[in-house]
Amino acid sequence: MFEVRDLRMVRAIHEHGSLVRAARVLGIAQPALTRQLAALEARLRGPLFERSPRGVTTTDLGRAVLTDAGEILDRLDRLGRHAAEARGDQVRDLNIAAGAYIAETLGLVAASRMLSLYPRVRVRLVSANWAEVPRAVHEREATLGLLDLRGFEPEMGDGLEVERLRPQPGVFVVRPGHPLLGRAGIGLADIVAYPVVLIGRIPTAVQAPIAAARAEAKAAGRTHAAFPALIHESPTVALRALPHSDAVVAVTIAIAAPALRAGQVVALPWRDPWVSVHPGIIRLRNRALGEAEEAFLDLLRTADREGEMAASAWCDELGLPGDCT
């Protein structure tokens, strides 16, 4: 009566609440999905979903099917992984979506350490703006998501498990010889008066104090007109803009550390606890993880502990507070 593709279809429609979104996730045309659903409902002699202009609602019959469908599909996925591991002749993908600040620090460290431990696992670490990560996990483009949890809204977390990692302190960095380095007692308004390089979307907790400081700088008649002056989704790459301008880049200490050590950038002597990133891991609730996923998470937690110690040492060396809010 059931085929595996039927179970995947029912689960996708239920999770996404729309035939259009489910078809996109499953990689098939919506008319084909509609026909497949109609054929299954005919075999079951009842509707699985109630349609409306706002989407679909799962019926009692649909919920009955879903009760076992998730477990069956997870078992089939595990069986496929175990068979591939037993054959030893198949490379599998581990897909991870991550906000850039975390992808370029903890994510890359853990992914690199996976290479020698799991040679038959291809780690695909996709760096994106943190706001795009929940969608990638919901739509099963990624098994694991890494992002700044300060921007993680309650509605994003429906059906997801969340694990918090240690906060990462951030700093504002500039080129050696920048005009701000010769001034005493600088504040945030002084910093944001210069061209600022940022990612395209930042959490509200970061937006509010920056907006207030921008207003203060503007009132004093000393602000760069465009804000951000330069948008780039890779904070590591953004550091390369500093030698060519008086720009300021906001980065975590973990990202700035190599350039600080080499003398290529200088940390400004100002920091508040909100200048930080609060990393977290998200994944679909009740979705079983394979050996490779569990191993990656263990490596990520180890990198997290190491990163906290390294950032604390840098804060002490720079004479900056290391607390994060």
For the chain, domain boundaries: 4-85, 89-166+278-313, 168-276
pLDDT value of residue 248: 98
Tell which wins on pLDDT, 28 or 322. Answer: 322
The pLDDT of residue 324:
87
- 12 band by pLDDT with thresholds 50, 70 and 90: confident
The per-residue pLDDT for 127 is 93
How high does pLDDT run on average in the chain? 90
CB distance 26 to 140 below 8 Å: no
Range among 14-28, 148-162, 252-266, 275-289 rated most confident: 252-266
pLDDT at position 116 is 92
Q: What is the dihedral of CA 93, 94, 98, 104, to 10 degrees?
A: -90
Residue 304: partners with Cβ closer than 8 Å, 6 or more residues away: 106, 165, 166, 279
Closest CA to 47 of 37, 35, 32: 37
Indicate the pTM of the whole model: 0.74
Tokens representing 160? 């997801």
Q: Please determine, for residue 195, whether its predicted confidence score (pLDDT) is greater than 90.
A: yes
Are 121 and 293 in contact by the 8 Å Cβ rule? The answer is no
Q: What is the DSSP letter of 289?
A: P
- CATH code: domain 4-85 is 1.10.10.10
pLDDT confidence tier of residue 232, bands split at 50, 70 and 90: very high
- pLDDT at position 105, please? 96
C-alpha span between 238 and 1 (Å, rounded): 55
Instruction: Report residue 144's pLDDT band, with 50, 70 and 90 as the boundaries.
Output: very high
- pLDDT in the model for residue 85: 65
> Do 4-85 and 168-276 share a fold?
no
Asked which of 65-69, 113-117, 161-165 is least confident by mean pLDDT, the reply is 65-69
Class of domain 89-166+278-313 (CATH, top level): alpha beta
What whole-number distance in Å separates Cα of residue 241 and Cα of residue 253? 17
Of all residues in the chain, the percent with pLDDT exceeding 70 is 96
- Give residue 238's pLDDT band: very low, low, confident or very high (50, 70, 90): very high
Integer Cα distance of 239 and 266 in angstroms: 11
What b/e sequence results for 156-181 when a residue is b if at least 16 CB atoms lie within 10 Å of its CB, and e otherwise? beeebeeeebebbbbbbbbbeebebe
DSSP 80: H
Statement: residue 222 has pLDDT above 90:
no
Residue 242: pLDDT band with limits 50, 70, 90: very high
Residue 126: in which H helix or E strand, if any?
A: strand 121-128
- Residue with the bigger pLDDT between 267 and 184: it is 267
Per-residue pLDDT for 262 more than 90? yes
Mean pLDDT within 4-22: 87
3-class secondary structure, 18: coil
CA–CA separation, 256 vs 251, rounded Å? 6
In the prediction, which pLDDT does 155 show? 60
Question: Is the CATH number 3.40.190.290 carried by domain 168-276?
Answer: yes
Give the percent of the chain with pLDDT over 90.
62
pLDDT of residue 73: 82
For residue 24, name the pLDDT band (cuts at 50, 70, 90): confident
Give the pLDDT confidence of 271-318 residue by residue, as tens digits.
999 999 999 999 998 788 888 999 999 999 999 999 999 999 999 999
Tokens of 165: 């990692």
